[in-house]
Amino acid sequence: MSPRNTQFSRDDIVAAAFQLVREEGWNGFSVQAVAKLINSSTMPIYSQFANVRDLEDAVCLKALDLLKERMLTDLTGDRWIDQGIIYVRFAEEEKFLFRALWDARNVDLSKEMGKRFNEFIAATLADYLLFVGLDELEVRMIRLTRMMFAQKLAYWLNVNSNYLKEKGIPELEEYMRRASMAIYHGFRLQFSAESVSATHFCGKGGKNE
Amino acid sequence: MSPRNTQFSRDDIVAAAFQLVREEGWNGFSVQAVAKLINSSTMPIYSQFANVRDLEDAVCLKALDLLKERMLTDLTGDRWIDQGIIYVRFAEEEKFLFRALWDARNVDLSKEMGKRFNEFIAATLADYLLFVGLDELEVRMIRLTRMMFAQKLAYWLNVNSNYLKEKGIPELEEYMRRASMAIYHGFRLQFSAESVSATHFCGKGGKNE
């Protein structure tokens, strides 16, 4: 390794690759393009990364870090609703990074990132007030339903920024809040109807004794 | 055209191509494979289709017809819930056809099919009882929210039949019913809260006169 090869750190190279993918998608990414961006030959890149795929993986992981960081932003004071809005906005505003996260250039990494992301979100919601007092299956149904709704909305807005407008829905933030609260309160209604009928049953049993 | 070229109708050829894509996906599809399946040379295919893409499009349209036909099945007596279940089951059971519909081998056709499918569904729900008395935006929000939920669930089960089990949800039918009704009743709660506050406002105004 010549000194020239070490003047660029791993982080410098990942940052340059990340910038290319962020602005142009994988089409704009190549070892040559990264080298050009940092004014270097391709040598330092090959000396720091075993192969192109390692560099691609590093770009994906950096995109995941950015998404996770964004997910912690406080928008409305309601963490669960904020996360829905932020996730969908990320898909819309960071079109190429969003695709890099989930479009499975590296299937195993994509799965692993999905798992990590889910764990991260679950941890941030561990003390979320609206879920207190619900049992595990109840929270799971509410969260899974909102998650799939938000994932598909993110997908559509990633593909077409006008998607909601074309569907006659004026505003993402308001729609995300309403849909999330509808899912939440709708399930709560079901849970209380179930516990009322369970109570009735027990009550009746008690009376007969 | 020799007589031999006309012994296979357009429908025969599309049926064979459809069967290949249904069983093996686009990987199993080629003009040669279709010809082999109908025990023919490739000549009749080329004489009936301007190019391979026309035959591919015909396969996609046939898949859409099958999906639409399925969507009319009565499972539970509730058309809207049935449609959610049927759509997701189609994605799970007809993995390759589902992908052929939406994976955009022909982007324009995929968009056109999405539009036709949405119109078809809207027509079947025109007299759906639970939507009677709601205004257009209200129905739109309820339907769009359930649609995105069902689309993403369909996607996940298409990719992985164990998706729901892995998430700790035992049964698709029950979950689809619960999630759909949660979305429906949750939004209804919001609408009536809004109309109550509107009534209060009007009532107060009346009192002061």
Mean pLDDT in consecutive groups of 10 residues from the start of chain B, 209 residues: 64 97 96 96 93 95 97 96 98 97 86 95 96 94 97 96 93 97 97 75 42
What percentage of residues in chain A have a pLDDT greater than 90?
Answer: 84
The pLDDT value given to residue A205: 40
Interchain pair B181, A184: CB under 8 A? no
The pLDDT value given to residue A199: 60
The pLDDT value given to residue A5: 46
Distance from CA of A114 to the nearest CA of B (A): 13
Q: Which residue bears the tokens 């009735």?
A: A200
* pLDDT tens string A37-82: 999 999 999 999 999 999 999 999 999 999 999 999 999 999 999 9
- Cα separation, A21 vs A95, in Å, equals 10
Chain B, 73 to 112: residues with Cβ < 8 Å from chain A are none
Distance from CA of B40 to the nearest CA of A (A): 39
- Cα separation, B175 vs A155, in Å, equals 23
Q: Which residues of chain B lie closer than 8 angstroms to A185, CB-CB?
A: 185-186, 189-190
B112, HSE (Cβ side, Cα atoms, 13 Å): 8
- Cα separation, B17 vs B26, in Å, equals 10
Residue of B nearest to A187 (CA): B182
Q: Give the confidence band of A106 by pLDDT, cuts at 50, 70, 90.
A: confident
Residue of A nearest to B187 (CA): A182
- Cα separation, B7 vs A35, in Å, equals 60
| Mean pLDDT to the nearest integer, A146-168 | 96
Helix (H, G, I), strand (E, B) or coil at B208: helix
| Mean pLDDT to the nearest integer, A11-33 | 96
How much is the mean pLDDT over chain A? 91
- Cα separation, A41 vs A32, in Å, equals 8
Phi, psi of A31 (to 5 degrees): -60, -40
The pLDDT value given to residue A39: 94
Question: Furthest-apart CA pair in chain A: how many Å?
Answer: 90
Residues 6+ positions from A65 with CB-CB distance below 8 Å:
none
- Cα separation, A145 vs B60, in Å, equals 29
- Supply the DSSP string of A124-179, one letter for each residue: HTTT-GGGTT--HHHHHHHHHHHHHHHHHHHHHHHH-TTHHHHTT---HHHHHHHH
- Pick among A111, A137, A141, A149 to test the B interface (most B CBs inside 10 A): A149
Chain B, 42 to 61: residues with Cβ < 8 Å from chain A are none
Interchain pair A152, B152: CB under 8 A? yes
Q: Give the confidence band of A194 by pLDDT, cuts at 50, 70, 90.
A: confident
- Cα separation, A66 vs A103, in Å, equals 17
Chain A, 122 to 151: residues with Cβ < 8 Å from chain B are 136-137, 140-142, 144-145, 148-149, 151
Nearest to A186 among B137, B175, B186 (CB): B186
- Cα separation, A139 vs A132, in Å, equals 9
